[in-house]
Amino acid sequence: MHDIVIRGGTIVDGTGKAAFTGDVAIADGRIAAVGGKQGPAKRDIDANGLMVTPGWVDVHTHYDGQAMWDPLLSPSCWHGVTTVMFGNCGVGFAPVKKEHHGALMDLMEGVEEIPNPVLAAGLNWEWETFPQYMNELERRPRAIDIAAQIAHLPLRVYVMGDRAIRRETATADDIAEMRNLTIEALRCGAFGFTTSRTDSHKTPDGELVPSRFADGEELVGIGSALGVTGTGAFGMNSDFDDEEFEIGWMTRVAKETGRPVWFLLTDRYSDPQRWRRLIKATHEARAKGLQLTAQMAGRPIGVMMGIGTALNPFTVRPTYKQLERLPIEEQRKRLRDPEMRRMILADTPSDAEIAKLAQFRQIVAKRFDKFFVMGNPPDYEPGPEKSVAAIAQREGRTPEEVAYDYMLEDGQYLYFPVVNYVTGDHGPIMEMLNDPACLLGLSDGGAHCTSIVDAGVPTFMLTHWARDRSRGPKLTVEHMVKRQTSETADFFGLNDRGRLAPGLRADVNLIDFDGLQVRKPEIIHDMPANGRRFIQRVNGYEATLVAGLPVFERGQHTGALPGRLVRAGEAGLSAREAAE
């Protein structure tokens, strides 16, 4: 007798092959059989009219801190994600010496917008080494599985101290020690190493991160650790100021180690053709047998702006800034006062004052053609008619008035696509999604608490790309499921999941595909130190199972906590071995 049989669902098994109808049997936390009519079970789940898929494997999150205090890892858990990987973009919390706790929290706040007070209240710091950090993660109960990578920023600070923070060049001895510590991390189950080489990553004081100018010898030296263990992937985020240099050292790491190397790929307003050059270089490297891959996002990475967010068009105005420390509802009440509205709209910063701002803040202060109304459900591929500038022109109002009044609507936010929207639609993303050299990632779950919430991207991949898209072609649901199950799992060696196949881990979603819908983002206060963050709820997940146990049913946590820390090399049978 099976533990559970999911009966009569439309099975999309994660391999990319066509959907089919049948049963999925589960026993001892594993998938026992797929297809046909299965025998008796202790529990039957009627999946008639539902889609049955593997759980999503989200390989680009920043739950490094939240994994210490939140057993659910919301909002990812609400969106059918059953495995998350963190330690991305070079930031993390191990290894660390006591005197550098504050520096690492500052780096996480500056790079990923997770507030220092939240981290200070939520982390117990009962570790120093990376293996100790892994043990601390492992001992906590949780609903879904987690996996970790070792990050360059804490590693560099641990080895070099203040010299790292000053971005000094690493010595040969520094590189050797960082390499040895990376080997130690990989051997205790890290799935790889990540670094950051972008000017957009800064400390709260505006200083560039310690790894920003690490030279080729340091990068290749640390990367050689992957060749020693024969495990892990090397991940990187860069501005690609010198494309030849960046491609050069990445291909060298891939060639010398035989391990996968990935970098983040987006299109940018400042250089619309950059992504095409980089993907061309990626294909050239792959043609030589090198494992170079571009990790891409399934929708624009966009900042949301409203009451209580990190930025909005009025945060540079002194009259508005006086209200920002008030509770959100009190801010909203004050902003509805006609006299306050008049004062803020009149408090226009001069061109000279705007010129003093960072470039991104300059855009936020005046580029109303780049801001869009989101609506409910939110529109992540808005046409030009939905821009604040276009609405203002149609209605005979100023863009500032339109933005102000829209922000005051209950729970509404303006949407500013920062990258992946150069063409004003999802055309480039479509090309990336159809390119085998691209890996789907960049949900950034857990990060950018008051400006971005993309943890719902796994759901969006189905609702938008496979069902609702109107401004261009759609993609098949089988392709979208494969993109975030077997492909992401296989890339990092999570070989016991990502497919509905006998012998593999029973991480399963039951989805009402027609009723599946991401809801508009909202801000809540539920983090340590009463910290606030964006979340995005969802309708349509009838159930999510982890290791054969239902952890969510109709959006409610069942109380089950079968999740665990997954260590590289402990993922069990591959799909091929299981099939044999």
CATH number for position 216:
3.20.20.140
3-state SS, 524-579, equals: EEEEHHHEEEEECCEECEEEEEECCEEEEECCEECCCCCECECCCCCCCCCHHHHH
Q: Given this model, what pLDDT does residue 579 score?
A: 37
Using an 8 Å Cβ cutoff, are 15 and 35 in contact?
no
Q: Given this model, what pLDDT does residue 357 score?
A: 63
Residue 467 lies in a domain: yes
Looking at the structure, tell me whether residues 239 and 256 fall in a common domain.
yes
Average pLDDT for the chain:
95
Average pLDDT over residues 50-64: 98
Looking at the structure, tell me whether residues 130 and 266 fall in a common domain.
yes
Looking at the structure, tell me whether residues 361 and 469 fall in a common domain.
no
Residue 216 lies in a domain: yes
Looking at the structure, tell me whether residues 123 and 214 fall in a common domain.
yes
Q: Given this model, what pLDDT does residue 365 score?
A: 72
Average pLDDT over residues 477-497: 98
Residue 37 lies in a domain: no
Contacts of 104 (CB under 8 A, 6+ apart): 91, 92, 93, 96, 153, 154, 157
Residue 560 lies in a domain: no
Pairing between β-strand 438-441 and β-strand 41-46 as defined by DSSP bridges: unpaired
Does position 577 have pLDDT exceeding 80, yes or no?
no
Q: Which of 382, 404, 419 is the last residue of a domain?
A: 419
3-state SS, 186-226, equals: HHCCCCEEEEEECCCCECCCCCECCCCCCCHHHHHHHHHHH
Residue 572 lies in a domain: no
Q: Given this model, what pLDDT does residue 319 score?
A: 94
Looking at the structure, tell me whether residues 456 and 324 fall in a common domain.
no
Using an 8 Å Cβ cutoff, are 451 and 311 in contact?
yes
Average pLDDT over residues 243-270: 97
Using an 8 Å Cβ cutoff, are 199 and 157 in contact?
no
d(CA 462, CA 51): 11
- Alpha-carbon distances, residue 154 vs 45, 183, 234, 264, 273 (angstroms): 46, 15, 16, 20, 33
Instruction: Tokens for 418, please give them.
Output: 């920062």
Average pLDDT over residues 70-89: 98
Instruction: Tokens for 509, please give them.
Output: 């979603």
Weakest-pLDDT range from 362-366, 451-455, 506-510: 362-366
Using an 8 Å Cβ cutoff, are 128 and 55 in contact?
no
User: Please, which pLDDT band fits residue 358 given cuts at 50, 70 and 90?
Assistant: low
Looking at the structure, tell me whether residues 227 and 360 fall in a common domain.
no
Domains identified in the chain, total number: 2
Does position 573 have pLDDT exceeding 60, yes or no?
no
d(CA 276, CA 294): 11
Q: What are the pLDDT digits (tens) for 298-329?
A: 999 999 999 999 999 998 899 999 999 899 99
Q: What are the pLDDT digits (tens) for 155-180?
A: 999 999 999 999 999 999 999 999 99
Q: What are the pLDDT digits (tens) for 128-153?
A: 999 999 999 999 999 999 999 999 99
The model's pTM is 0.96
Q: In what order do the strands lie in the sheet with 56-58?
A: 56-58, 81-86, 145-148
Does position 94 have pLDDT exceeding 60, yes or no?
yes
Looking at the structure, tell me whether residues 88 and 215 fall in a common domain.
yes
With H, G, I as helix, E, B as strand and everything else as coil, classify residue 171: coil
Q: Which residues pair with 264 in a beta bridge?
A: 295
Pairing between β-strand 301-305 and β-strand 372-373 as defined by DSSP bridges: unpaired
Tell me which DSSP letter residue 291 carries.
Answer: -
d(CA 429, CA 286): 21
Q: Which of 369, 385, 419 is the last residue of a domain?
A: 419
Residue 205 lies in a domain: yes
Looking at the structure, tell me whether residues 328 and 290 fall in a common domain.
no
Looking at the structure, tell me whether residues 232 and 341 fall in a common domain.
no
Q: Which of 419, 450, 479 is the last residue of a domain?
A: 419
Locus of tokens 């969510």: 552
Structural domain boundaries, residue 114: 57-300+421-491
Does position 337 have pLDDT exceeding 70, yes or no?
yes
| Burial of residue 3, with CB atoms counted within 10 A of its CB: 0-12 exposed, 13-18 middle, 19 or more buried | middle
d(CA 48, CA 470): 28
d(CA 506, CA 32): 9
Q: Given this model, what pLDDT does residue 461 score?
A: 98
Looking at the structure, tell me whether residues 169 and 290 fall in a common domain.
yes
Looking at the structure, tell me whether residues 391 and 427 fall in a common domain.
no
Tell me which DSSP letter residue 293 carries.
Answer: E
Average pLDDT over residues 418-422: 95
Residue 69 lies in a domain: yes
- Alpha-carbon distances, residue 310 vs 62, 248, 314, 448 (angstroms): 18, 37, 11, 9
Q: Given this model, what pLDDT does residue 575 score?
A: 37
Q: Given this model, what pLDDT does residue 141 score?
A: 97
Residue 61 lies in a domain: yes
Instruction: Tokens for 88, please give them.
Output: 């991305």
Average pLDDT over residues 331-345: 96
Q: Given this model, what pLDDT does residue 395 score?
A: 97
d(CA 430, CA 474): 9
d(CA 228, CA 181): 12
User: Please, which pLDDT band fits residue 580 given cuts at 50, 70 and 90?
Assistant: very low
From 315, 254, 325, 245, select the one nearest 278 (Cα to Cα): 245
Looking at the structure, tell me whether residues 294 and 312 fall in a common domain.
no
Helices (H), 308-382: 318-321, 328-335, 338-346, 351-355, 359-366
